[in-house]
Structure formats: structure tokens, C-alpha cells
Amino acid sequence: MSTQLSPQLRFDGFVVGAANRLAATAARTVAESPGTGYNPLFIYARPGLGKTHLLMAIGHAAQAINPALSVEYVTLDDFVEAFHTAVGAGQGDAYRRRFAESDILLLDDVQFVTHRRETQAELLRLVDQMQASGRQIVLTSDRPPADIEAFDERLLRRVAGGLVIDIAAPDYETRVAILRRKAEERQVVFLPGVLEAVATLALDSVRELLGALNRLIAFQSVGNAPLDAEQARVVLGVRAMASDVPAAPSVTSPDPEPEAVVDEFGEFLSEVAETLTRQVEGWRRRVEEAVARWDGQGYQTARLTRLLDRSVDGDPAETLSAFVADVETLQALQAEAGVLAADLAADPVFRDPDGVAAAEAFLARAQEGASPPPPPDGIWLFEHLVESEGNKVALRSAHAAATRPGLAYNPLVIVGGAGVGKTHLLHAVGNLLLASPGAVVACLNAQDFTEELIEAIARDRIAPWRARYRRVHALLLDDVQLLANRERTQEELYLLFNHLVERGAQLVFTASAEPGEIDGFEERLASRLAGGLVVHLPAPEREVRQVVIERLLGARYERVDAELASFLASRPAESVRAVQALVQRIEAAADARHCEPDVALAREVLEGAPPRAPRPAAGVRTSGVAAGGFRSPEKGVWEWPDLGERLIEEWR
Amino acid sequence: MSLVNFTTREITCKIVYYGPGRSGKTTNLQYIYGRVPEARRGRMVSLATQSDRTLFFDFLPIDLGSISGFTTRFQLYTVPGQVYYNATRKLVLQGADGVVFVGDSQARRYDDNVESLQNLQENLLAQGVDIRQLPVVFQYNKQDLPRDLILSPAELDDALNFRGVRSYGADCLHGHGVFETLKGISELVLQRLAAGSPAA
């Protein structure tokens, strides 16, 4: 039966020196072009010098070049046994075909063909057949063909017709190279001079050399310090130079018992060390894999590296799982930071599993920003607003937005002239929103928004500034038209807008004009604002003015003069602010006269009616109209041209 | 006792030699004691009767030095084999990381072997340890006796080793099989490190 090629025995693991260079070259040639060069190739060498290694390397290399090639590796003993079995089963022909039809036949330990005439005859037939069909045959032996006892003369000639080559014992340099490569493969580091000392020992075969290396590795692994060259010689002296070095190495402690006894414990020690090292290496490998994995993902792995350096106490499994847990915490924090701002999430603080607390603090700071976002002013409440036919839509929409944030109208844009109550309504919405537990509501003027941004830029605190607003549940921005031509602020608002809408946060804006009509307002932002609900807040109607006036008077005087309130409400006003100014004028006049205001006083102040008390009757003119000259409002002039026009008129 | 202590970087393997009286448990330890360099072995504590029967237990600590950064120690115990010392056996068995069952190969001791093995299972079970979960190897001692007096390792395997764990023929008096057995149980015990499940 054929044997599987050992995966370790390849050309790249074969150290080439002067003693084996020719054999290695021939083997490579055969592998690269089987059946065309040296056929058959006969390699002979003493045991342990690499015959089998070369044989299998040929198989691997040939299959690597052409995977379709069929390669049979078999030792002569197996070849004979399989032949006998096949013949016994009446399958002799099938057996012959199997080998004869293989592309490369690798036959090991041919020296055992001695005195086996039938096998030799079979082998002769096989060589002839394979040579004739251009198939490659490679044979190895521990002696030259001529020295194989009772070797068939015809077979000898066939072999001699190919290439017969030997492998000599490796020279010193090759031995050092072999030892270094194997030590490297085993990841063992020796002190300088140790391997060189081993190479000087009278160990002719590579196998013995590797046995010596294994012994050194075992003893070094159980010692407290690396072996030096002298100790290495002593360690190997027990086996390789027993007659030269009688004492056991210090690492195993000198023992008075005979050598065989020392070996018994030494072997036990070596095996335990090997097993233990393998097991420890198991978890060390797991740790190394974890280091590679997390390091690859950009996480700091100092904790795991310390574990490998053996300077940290604790179960590696526990340390590993704790590390993974910390990484997961960091990932969660990072994701939270990412919600606030992408550049926050990229901060290195989220890459250090030893600094979870720092990451938490960083996120907390980011969430808080420099200070909490400005809340709505508590004095402006929704219940203070007076609903009328004209403002009904605006008020109800605002209420809906406040009670169903993000769901009803988002964004809500309240458009109106100066003083009509946009700011009041905005803050009132904000206060309603604040009623929800945990709600964070930012309510501020657009000018302040810009100022904050400028300061954040100046202090290089853009990320926290963004974070400050990105965590809010509602953003209420007053007088958004003030952002006209503020490109950077508009850009930030645009990003914030998208982020908040995506999060389902409520947005409410007030503006003096419809978004699309504001000059210097970016279209992408205007279109987003217009995409929600735009409602108009008109100038206060009479009933609104009446209520406002009654409230204002009621706040000042015990009794509200209904006639006065009605009179004042009947006067036109473009804004609530104008109504307030009206009331203030009357109150000021009343204060000057130390009386309570009434309609007469109001008429006098507003329409120029004569005072009830004696006062100068003439000489006081106002723009050409004698004070108190008209009693009927219909004869009064209610709208005066502005000062410039009046001056031009008078100058003419 | 735990097999591996990562805090102190120590590995301590408690191995208990179990088996019927006169099967050769103490002889195992004595042989090992004689082969361990003085610097690496502790004092062997042996509490024996006047007739050299183990009264309480034998204890042999072996220090293997630092292996892969771990200070590695083996503690070898024997239990008194006599049936009436079961309380002592239970005590010694506590916290064992592995058990070597030393069977007597003599055919006439067949029943004693079976009885001792059953006793081992019972005592482990009483401590909440399933013998199937514990590293155990068999050693069939006295294989040097005349063939007609003894059972072969294969026969003893059939009778005792129904789980098919590792078993070793031995002649402890002359040391054959002693270290092989120790190596076998050590490997099984140390392999548990990889599973990350230190023995209780």
C-alpha cells in the first residue's frame, strides 16, 4: 500500500549544504520535469540524512507544479507486502497497473530487496515499463546499488543507467543551519554558541542532531535560565558523549544514580515539559490570536500583551473574556458617540480597553457639551396664547407638534411679522415639550446659534458643540432668517437637521418670511424647512388684542376698565408688541397724572382730546393740527407720513 | 486544590495511586523517589505499620521547576489499600487531579481489584466526581510473576478497564512500567489545562 506524503517533508524544509547539494538539485530537477531527466534516480545515504525527506519533497513539488500528477510513495517492505496480498487475492495485474501507471513512483528503502528474487523481478519489470512510458521512478537505499546484496544484475544496470547519487553527512555549517532552522520552527531561542556547540558533536545523522536539539529544548524549558554552551554539551553528553562527560547537567541536578536511572526521570521531565508547554502554548496561542484580532481592529492590546509577557496575574481565559467585554463596552460607547457626531466616534479613547472609564467620561462630556443646550424660557406658556380665527391654525399645529413630537409636523415653521408672537409660540412649544420626562429641548435664537458656533470654532470645540445639539429631543430655532448668508451655520444646521429628523426629534423654526423667500438662505435648507408645515401667524385680531390689553391692565390695576380695554382693542395694531406699547403709553400718562387710566385719558393721549384739567389752550401745535381741534376720530389724521417725508414736505 | 493557579503561576498535580492492598502502590512511589534527583524531590512521608503496610498514606512531592513560566509540582499520594481504611482513602482522594489504579495482576487477587475499583468509583461519587470526568490510568503490577499465576494486561483490561483508558503492565519492584504510568497520567492531567477546566 502507498503512504501519504508527510506534509512537513518539503523542499523548503530541507537544508541544503555541500554534502547534499547534488542530491537536492537532482531531486528538484526530477520534480520539475518527471520522466525526462534522471530516470531512475537512485539516492543513497546512511539513515537519518534526509533520503525520505527528499523523496517526499519530490512528490510534493511535482504535485504543486501539476496537481493532476499521480504520485505513489511506498517503502519496499510495504511494496512487497502489498504485492503478496494482491497476488494472493488474484489481483496481481491490478497491482502492477497501479504502480506502472502512476506518474511518479517513489520507492524508499530499496536495500531490503536483498534475496527477494521475485520482488526484484517485479521491480525490474516495473522500472522497464515506467521508463518506456516516460514515467518517473525514484529509489532510495542506505547503501550504493552495487553494495546491495544479491541485487539483480539487470536491475543494477537499469539503475546505473539513470543517476545514482549519495548524500553525505552534513558538514558543520549545514548542521548549524539545520539546528537554527529547527529551533526557529520550534520558536525556541538559545544563547549564542549553544547550537554551534551542538553542531560540533560527533552526530553524523540529521536525525541524531534533531534528537539532540529536542533534548536541549526540553531541558531549557524546565530550567530557570537558558542553557549556555557548556551546559548544552553536558546535557547532550549524557547521551552523545557519555564517556566524555560523566556528570549530569546542573538543571537536572547531579544524581549519584547510574545513567539509566537519571534518564528515566529526565525523560519523564522532558515529556511533562513538552506536554505542559504544548498546553500552555495552547492558551498562549489563543491570546496571540486575540491580540492579532483586536490589534487588527485598532484596539490597544497592552493588557493581552502583558499576559503573554507573563507579568500579569490571573487566568488567561478570564483576562481574555474581560478584555472582550471591555471592547464590547467601548463599541457600545463608540456607537453612542457616533450618534452624536462621526468625528467623536473616531476618537482614540474608544480604542483602549484599559480606559473604559475614560471613554465613558469622554462620552459624558460630549453629551453634555460645554453646557446644556439653552432651554425655552419658562415665562412663555402655551396657555397664555390667545386663539383666534386668524392664528388658530398656527397655534393648533404648534400644539400638535409639541404633544406628538416628531410625528405631527416636522419641521414646523412659523412665519410672521415682527412682534406677532412667534417667539412666544416657539418657547411655549418648547415648554410643552419639556413636560416629557427626560426631554432635552434646545430653544434659542438663530443669532445665538451662530455665535455659539463661532465660539466653538475659535476654541476648537466643534465636536462637543455638535454633540450638544445632536442629543436633543427637540430643536427650536427663533428667527431663522438671521442665518441668511451665514454659510457655515447653515451647513451645520443642515447636518443637524438631517441628524435630528432621522432620530425623530422635533424641529420648530420661526421666520419672518417663508423659507424659500429668505435671501441668502441655502436652497437645500430652505427646501427641508418647507418640506414640513409652514404656518403663518397673522397680526393680532381684535379679540386677541382685547385679551392682551385686559391681561396687561389686569396685571397693573385691580379693576380693568372694560370700556378702556375695548377702546384700545379697537385701535389697529400690527403686532402684540404694538398693543403692549399702546397700553404702556396709557399707563405712563395715567402715572404722570396720578390716576387710573380710562377712555378719556386714552382718547386724549391717543387722539389729542382736551384734558379735563386746566392746561395751556393754545400755542401747542402738532404738525399743523391744533391739539384738541378735532373731537371726532373721523377727522383725525391716524397715519402720519414718516419724518423724512414730513421734512421734505415742510421744506417745500 | 486547583490544578493551575494563574495568579501564583503554579501548577500542582495531585496524583493518587489507588488499588487493593499489597498491589504495589507504595512500591511505585518508592521507585520514583529513588529516581528523582534529590534537589527535585521533597521528603517522602510514609506512615506505615510495623509490618510495613501503609497505615495512612504515602506522600511524595516532586518539584519539576519552571516550565513555560509555571512552577510545576507533582504530589504523589497512595491510599491504604485495606478495606477498613476507607475513611482515609476518601480523605486522600479529595482534590485529586488524576488517579493511577494499581491492580494486582495475580489471578487470585481478581476480586480484590474489582472491589477496589468499585470502591474508587463510590468514593469519587461521594465527592461529586464522576470517574468518567477524571483522568485515570490503570497499571497492572506484578507482571513479572509466572504466567500461570497472573492475568495478562489484556485480560485485566477486559475485567477492569471497560472505558478503555490507558493501561500499563508493570513490575514496580524493578521499575518496569513505573515511569510509563506516571508519564501517562501526567499527560492526561496536564491536557486538561488546554480545556481550561482546572480540577476541583
Secondary structure, 3-state, A551-583 = HHHHHHCCCCCHHHHHHHHHCCCCCHHHHHHHH
**A382-404 pLDDT tens trace:** 888 888 888 888 888 899 888 88
pLDDT for residue A121 is more than 80: yes
Minimum CA–CA partner of A225 in chain B = B66
Local structure of B182: helix, strand or coil: helix
Question: If you write DSSP's letter for every residue of B133-156 in order, what string do you get?
Answer: GS-EEEEEE-TTS-GGGB--HHHH
Omega into A40 within 30° of 0, i.e. cis?
yes
Rg (CA), chain B: 16
Tell me what the mean pLDDT of segment B93-99 comes to.
Answer: 92
User: What are the residue ranges spanned by the domains of chain B?
Assistant: 4-195
Question: If you write DSSP's letter for every residue of B48-102 in order, what string do you get?
Answer: E-TTS-EEEEEEEEEEEEEETTEEEEEEEEE---SGGGHHHHHHHHTT-SEEEEE
Q: Do residues B45 and B107 touch, judged by C-beta distance below 8 A? A: no
Neighbours of A646 (CB within 10 A): 13
| Segment of A417-421, B138-142, B173-177 carrying the highest mean pLDDT | B138-142
**For chains A and B, what is the number of CB pairs under 8 angstroms?**
96
A493-507, A638-652, B117-131, range with the lowest pLDDT: A638-652
A245 touches chain B (CB under 8 A): no
**A568-582 pLDDT tens trace:** 888 888 888 888 888
- Residue of B3, B4, B190 to mutate for A, most A C-beta atoms under 10 A: B190
Longest dimension (CA), chain B: 54
Minimum CA–CA partner of A249 in chain B = B37
**Beta carbons of A253 and B72 less than 8 Å apart:** no
A22-31, A112-121, A628-637, B181-190, range with the lowest pLDDT: A628-637
**A320-374 pLDDT tens trace:** 888 999 999 999 998 888 776 666 788 888 999 988 999 988 888 776 654 568 8
Percent of chain A with pLDDT over 90: 10
Q: pLDDT tier at A150 (50, 70, 90 boundaries)?
A: confident
B64 touches chain A (CB under 8 A): yes
- Whole-number pLDDT of residue B76: 93
d(CA A427, CA A424): 5
B49 touches chain A (CB under 8 A): no
Contact residues on chain A for B186, CB-CB shorter than 8 A = 268, 271-272, 275
A308 touches chain B (CB under 8 A): no
Neighbours of A450 (CB within 10 A): 18
B174 touches chain A (CB under 8 A): no
Comparing CA positions, the residue from B25, B10, B47, B1 lying closest to residue B139 is B25
Contact residues on chain A for B42, CB-CB shorter than 8 A = none
CB-CB: which of A221, A271, A310 is closest to B183?
A271
Backbone φ, ψ for residue A399 (5° rounding):
-65, -40
Backbone φ, ψ for residue B9 (5° rounding):
55, 50
**Beta carbons of A281 and B68 less than 8 Å apart:** yes
Architecture of the domain whose range is B4-195:
3-Layer(aba) Sandwich (3.40)
Q: How far is B99 from chain A (nearest CA, A)?
A: 17
Longest dimension (CA), chain A: 160
d(CA A174, CA A24): 14
Task: Give residues with Cβ within 8 angstroms of A101, minimum separation 6.
Answer: A70, A135
**Beta carbons of A262 and B68 less than 8 Å apart:** no
Task: Give residues with Cβ within 8 angstroms of A26, minimum separation 6.
Answer: A37, A38, A41, A43, A163, A165
- Residue of B2, B68, B174, B178 to mutate for A, most A C-beta atoms under 10 A: B68
**A469-505 pLDDT tens trace:** 888 889 999 999 999 888 889 988 998 898 898 888 9
More confident residue, B123 or A460: B123
Task: Give residues with Cβ within 8 angstroms of A25, minimum separation 6.
Answer: none
What the block records as the C-alpha cell of A399 is 400644539
Q: Name the amino acid, one letter, at A293.
A: R
Tell me what the mean pLDDT of segment B155-179 comes to.
Answer: 93
pLDDT for residue B166 is more than 60: yes
- Whole-number pLDDT of residue A430: 93
What angle (nearest 5°) sits at the alpha carbon of residue B149, between those of residues B143 and B155? 65
**Beta carbons of B6 and A316 less than 8 Å apart:** yes
A185-189, A216-220, A251-255, A386-390, range with the lowest pLDDT: A251-255
Minimum CA–CA partner of A254 in chain B = B37
**A432-451 pLDDT tens trace:** 998 888 888 999 999 999 98
- Whole-number pLDDT of residue A441: 92
CB-CB: which of B9, B37, B67 is closest to A255?
B37
Q: pLDDT tier at B49 (50, 70, 90 boundaries)?
A: low
Q: Do residues B95 and B200 touch, judged by C-beta distance below 8 A? A: yes
- Whole-number pLDDT of residue B117: 95
**A59-78 pLDDT tens trace:** 999 988 888 888 988 888 88
**A194-249 pLDDT tens trace:** 888 888 777 767 877 877 887 787 777 766 678 887 777 777 764 443 333 333 33
Signed CA dihedral, A566, A570, A574, A579: sign only:
negative
pLDDT for residue B19 is more than 90: yes
Could you tell me where the DSSP H helices lie in A2-106? Answer: 21-32, 51-65, 76-88, 92-100
pLDDT for residue B124 is more than 90: yes
A269 touches chain B (CB under 8 A): yes
Contact residues on chain A for B183, CB-CB shorter than 8 A = 267-268, 271-272
A186 touches chain B (CB under 8 A): no
List B residues 74-133 in contact with A (Cβ-Cβ < 8 A): none
Percent of chain B with pLDDT over 70: 88
Q: Do residues B3 and B12 touch, judged by C-beta distance below 8 A? A: yes
**Beta carbons of B179 and A267 less than 8 Å apart:** yes
Backbone φ, ψ for residue A468 (5° rounding):
-60, -40
d(CA A82, CA A2): 9
Task: Give residues with Cβ within 8 angstroms of A57, minimum separation 6.
Answer: A9, A10, A11, A13, A14, A27, A31
Signed CA dihedral, A480, A485, A491, A494: sign only:
positive
- Residue of A188, A272, A308 to mutate for B, most B C-beta atoms under 10 A: A272
More confident residue, A642 or B27: B27
**What beta strand segments (E) does A479-526 contain?**
506-511
Task: Give residues with Cβ within 8 angstroms of A251, minimum separation 6.
Answer: A219, A222, A223, A224, A227, A231, A235, B65
Size of chain A, expressed as the number of residues it contains: 652
Q: How far is B169 from chain A (nearest CA, A)?
A: 17
- Whole-number pLDDT of residue B193: 66
**Beta carbons of B196 and A317 less than 8 Å apart:** yes
Grid cell 461529586 is found at B128
What the block records as the C-alpha cell of A577 is 408688541
- Whole-number pLDDT of residue B151: 94
- Whole-number pLDDT of residue A256: 37
Contacts by A112-118, CB closer than 8 A, 24 or more apart: A112/A76, A112/A77, A112/A80, A113/A76, A113/A148, A113/A151, A114/A148, A114/A149, A114/A150, A114/A151, A115/A149, A115/A150, A116/A80, A117/A152
Could you give the domains of chain A? 11-167 (3.40.50.300), 172-254 (1.10.8.60), 382-537 (3.40.50.300), 542-650 (no CATH)
B149 touches chain A (CB under 8 A): no
CB-CB: which of B6, B9, B68 is closest to A276?
B68
CB-CB: which of B35, B67, B186 is closest to A265?
B35
pLDDT for residue A33 is more than 70: yes
pLDDT for residue A160 is more than 50: yes
- Whole-number pLDDT of residue A624: 42
d(CA A568, CA A590): 15
Local structure of A298: helix, strand or coil: coil
Average pLDDT, chain A: 80
Q: How far is CA A100 from CA A57, A133, A139, A483, B65, in A?
A: 21, 9, 15, 91, 57
Q: pLDDT tier at B123 (50, 70, 90 boundaries)?
A: very high
Contact residues on chain A for B196, CB-CB shorter than 8 A = 283, 317
State how beta strands B54-67 and B45-48 pair: antiparallel
Tell me what the mean pLDDT of segment A422-438 comes to.
Answer: 90
- Whole-number pLDDT of residue A568: 87
Contact residues on chain A for B28, CB-CB shorter than 8 A = none
A188 touches chain B (CB under 8 A): no
d(CA B173, CA A594): 129
A262 touches chain B (CB under 8 A): yes
- Whole-number pLDDT of residue A222: 65
- Whole-number pLDDT of residue A155: 85
A138-147, A341-350, B138-147, range with the lowest pLDDT: A341-350
